[in-house]
């Protein structure tokens, strides 16, 4: 078997794309989207009709509401191609607004349900700020499952698990990028800081019995992916899915509950003050979280611009 098929024996594969053709080609169980991926997709000729349809069908609505409709349109198309769940992201400009995030999460789920899609097939993506985690805790209690994104450090993961969220997406590649730039070192294999971060989170969750799913994300190469074989889920770009599908060689399971139970990790209790201090002490996590929110905000503004020009 190729490496992708072998990996599927240990880990649920998720497509990190808004490209329907890629989703059909690699048969993932789930799929994730974000503002950057949707922006990239609607600028292609084959997907621009979806943008035009959203604007045309909801011309009497606000720009923000039209974008929500566009996100749900993409989500519905994706769900027609996969057996599992799609992740749809809240506006990154709500990252420090608990009430606003709750309202947006409810609105997105309502649009899916109005289109006949059950909430069990949707994950609402929210930035892993303290405010975002608090919003997710409320939504989860209402049966709205959440995918916590822009996650770079164990304190974020612990707070998410304590809040009872469905799934987290630690960003392997962006952690790697920061350490590579900071140290000038080309990390590989098990020495990769991004890989180590996800392994530590996975071991913590399994050791202390958390049900929150761990989905490694934001990969730069297939080595990072293979080092996390056994993680609950991995969300992978089409380019890297293609590389795995075209490569042979044995894929060994690297993460498992037995080794997690034997780890020396200690249970941590984090209230808001402890969370903010721990995150602040981690320069990488602080910088990458802020950078990620800024980038998603900028792409949301660009997406609004595309809608405005069509109105």
Distance CA 116, CA 124 (A): 17
Question: Which pLDDT score, from 0 to 100, does residue 81 have?
Answer: 96
pLDDT at 140 over 90: yes
Question: Which pLDDT score, from 0 to 100, does residue 42 have?
Answer: 94
Q: Which domains does the chain have, with CATH numbers?
A: 3-305 (3.20.20.70)
Question: Which pLDDT score, from 0 to 100, does residue 311 have?
Answer: 87
pTM exceeding 0.85:
yes
The whole-number average pLDDT for the span 1-11 is 96
Q: Give, to the nearest 10 degrees, the angle between helix 272-281 and helix 283-310.
A: 100
For residue range 70-105, what is the model confidence (pLDDT) as tens digits?
A: 999 999 999 999 999 999 999 999 999 999 999 999
Catalytic residues: 125
Lowest mean pLDDT among 29-38, 61-70, 134-143, 184-193: 29-38
Phi and psi (nearest 5°) for 167? -155, 145
For residue range 193-217, what is the model confidence (pLDDT) as tens digits?
A: 999 999 999 999 999 999 999 999 9
């Amino acid at each position: 078997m190729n490496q992708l098929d072998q990996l599927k024996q240990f880990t649920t594969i998720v497509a990190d794309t808004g490209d329907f053709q890629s989703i059909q080609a690699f048969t993932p169980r789930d799929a994730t989207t974000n503002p950057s991926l949707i922006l990239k997709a609607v600028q292609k000729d084959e997907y621009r009709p979806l943008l035009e349809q959203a604007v045309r069908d909801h011309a009497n609505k606000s720009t923000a509401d039209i974008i929500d409709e566009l996100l749900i349109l993409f989500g519905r198309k994706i769900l027609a191609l996969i057996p599992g769940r799609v992740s749809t992201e809240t506006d990154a400009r709500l990252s420090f607004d608990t009430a606003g995030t709750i309202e947006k999460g409810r609105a997105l789920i309502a649009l899916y349900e109005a289109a006949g899609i059950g909430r069990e097939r949707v994950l609402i993506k929210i930035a892993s700020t303290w405010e975002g985690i608090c919003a997710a805790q409320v939504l989860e209690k209402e049966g709205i499952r959440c995918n916590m994104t822009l996650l770079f450090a164990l304190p974020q993961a612990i707070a998410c698990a304590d809040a009872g969220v469905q799934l987290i997406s630690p960003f392997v590649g962006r952690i790697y990028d920061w350490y590579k730039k900071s140290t000038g070192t080309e990390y590989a294999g098990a020495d990769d800081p991004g890989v180590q971060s996800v392994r530590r989170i996975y071991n913590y969750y399994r050791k202390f019995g958390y049900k929150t799913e761990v989905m490694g994300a934001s990969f730069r190469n297939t080595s990072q992916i293979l080092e996390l074989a056994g993680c609950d889920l991995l969300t992978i770009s089409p380019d890297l899915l293609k590389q795995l599908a075209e490569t042979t060689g044995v894929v060994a399971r690297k993460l498992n509950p037995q080794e997690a139970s034997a780890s020396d990790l200690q249970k941590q209790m984090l209230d808001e003050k402890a969370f903010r201090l721990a995150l602040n002490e981690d320069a990488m996590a602080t910088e990458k979280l802020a950078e990620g929110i800024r980038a998603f905000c900028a792409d949301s503004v660009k997406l609004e611009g595309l809608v405005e020009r069509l109105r």
